[in-house]
Amino acid sequence: MNLHAHLPPASGIVYLVGAGPGDPDLLTLKAHRLLQQADVVVHDRLVSARVLDLIPSGVTRLPVGKESGHHCVPQDRINAILVEQARRHARVVRLKGGDPFVFGRGSEEALHLRHHGIPFEVVPGITAAVACSAYAVVPLTHRGLSHGVQFVTGHFRDNRDVDIDWRSLANPDLTLVIYMGLAPLAQICTGLAAAGLPPT
């Protein structure tokens, strides 16, 4: 009788690491250290070449990039890859553009890892909205002009039409940040204008 038959196989740890907006100088110290210590790096298309250049030679790189309308590696397969790699290696870095938990599907990956008994840790990164606004010197909040920020996505699962409560977003006292909003831009502008925001 095998007393270990029902125990999950031994595994390494997966680090869900935010790569930030692309500038390696904006990586956290922890993200940089983990890249140096990784056995394998599973990375997105949005991670910049300059950040990928920080990965030491000899470390396995697995690109799993997705782009709008073309998912060369579906999310279910990415989830499975993380489990497979964690069962083969001690330190797996899942490198994601921006922050893993801001429209990065990091939470789905975390749930999958937890379901399979794989330990993981989340390492935050600078998200695109914060980086872009700072570089453009356009503050997301400013006393007397904007007392809050709303982050929303303009992209929906299975490429469905944008289904948003425009009235809840058409608040002139809040800064509205729309991720992945380029393709449905006309629909977004029409919806916000119809809800009361000026067309400008």
Active site residues: 44, 66
How far apart, in Å, are the Cα atoms of 160 and each of 18, 26, 34, 156, 183? 27, 34, 37, 6, 12
- Token pair belonging to 155: 């992209």
Token look-up 């006393």 returns 143
Say if residues 35 and 113 touch (Cβ distance below 8 Å). Answer: no
In whole angstroms, give the CA distance from residue 193 to residue 200.
9
Query: Which residue type occupies 171?
Result: N
Q: Is 148 exposed, middle or buried (0-12, 13-18, 19+ CB in 10 A)?
A: exposed
Say if residues 153 and 126 touch (Cβ distance below 8 Å). Answer: no
**Which residues are CB-contacts of 9 (< 8 A; sequence separation ≥ 6)?**
87
Say if residues 91 and 15 touch (Cβ distance below 8 Å). Answer: yes
Question: Beta strand pairing status for 175-179 and 91-96?
Answer: unpaired
